[in-house]
Amino acid sequence: MSETEMAKINKFTRRELKEDEVYTFSVVLCDNEIDRDCEKFSVDALKKLAELYVGKTGIWSHDPKGENQTARIYDTEVVSDPSRKTADGEVYTYLKASAYMVRTSSNADLIREIDGGIKKEVSVGCSVSKEICSVCGRDRNAGECAHRKGRVYNGRKCFHILSGPTDAYEWSFVAVPAQKGAGVTKKYGGEYSARKQETQDGIVEKLCDDLKRDIIRLSFLSGDGVPAVLTKAAIEKMEPYELLEMKQALIGAADDGSMGELERSFIQNKEKDPELNRSFRV
């Protein structure tokens, strides 16, 4: 171990440790590959996390109890591998960390398990400010997108790009990580953000269900002769704006009061910015 490494470690100790007192190892914390949750970190996010993770403690299974502390990160590095591409075509890039433990009789077995490749997978707990949709490029946390992770839109699979890290809490040894290459558990926005997203998705779903029901009813009342089952099949995969336009056509060009407030807001927003249509596919 170099003197430079020992100097970095001793920034976090109360007394200066000697080389034979510490055990060091490297770990890949996270990367820019699309993970099992249909999420990935941007390269800029990895660079910011590299700063935030210096000095952060390693624990077990994201359990914040003090007795679960096992190691501490003393250095980080963002590494790119030009020979490898991510699923969405980017150069594979990962955040590598160097961690240390003080050698004791109680962690001797853990050190042997790390050296033997048994304790290997890790996961990180952090916060990010933005969750960018890969389909429309809008920030999901800002409530501007209704695309869903894992679904395919016009041949493009939706995933979320996590960016703008605001904090790094800890990193943990885990059995089954989310990321295949590193294992990552993300925390962004907390419980409020999750409830907010569920509410937004629910509003769009309810709007579409109501529109489909109204279109079938209006089509029947218009006497156009099209069986309800055919109308239902035709509108099943329509986007919200297409459903709105079809309903508007059925009740006439003028708004006779049959349009609800939420529906009118969708129409008005589309007139201001046609690109918003991309934000409300279901």
Report how many domains make up the chain. 2
Whether residues 114 and 173 share a domain: the answer is yes
Q: Is the distance from CB of 131 to CB of 138 less than 8 angstroms?
A: no
Q: pLDDT tens, 196-247?
A: 445 555 666 777 788 888 887 777 666 666 676 777 877 887 777 677 777 8
Taking a C-beta distance cutoff of 8 angstroms, is the pair 94, 182 a contact? Answer: yes
* pLDDT 10s digits, 167-194: 998 888 776 555 555 433 334 444 444 4
Tell me how far apart the alpha carbons of residues 168 and 127 are, in angstroms, rounded to a whole number: 6
Same domain for 212 and 258: yes
Lowest mean pLDDT among 27-31, 38-42, 250-254: 250-254
Angle, alpha carbons 120-121-126 (nearest 5°): 130
Q: Do residues 159 and 68 share a domain?
A: yes
Q: Are residues 105 and 167 in the same domain?
A: yes
pTM score, whole prediction: 0.61
Q: 135 and 205 share a domain? A: no
Q: How far apart are CA 249 and CA 275, in angstroms?
A: 21
Least Cα distance to 56 among 172, 149, 204 occurs for 172
User: Domain of 257?
Assistant: 196-280
Neighbouring C-alpha atoms within 13 Å toward the C-beta of 209: 6
Q: Which of 75-79, 193-197, 260-264, 277-281 is the most confident on average?
A: 75-79
At 126-178, the pLDDT tens digits run 899 999 999 999 998 887 788 888 899 988 899 999 999 999 988 887 765 55
Q: Which of residues 140, 163, 188 is at a domain's end?
A: 188
Provide the mean pLDDT of the chain: 78
159 and 72 together in one domain? yes
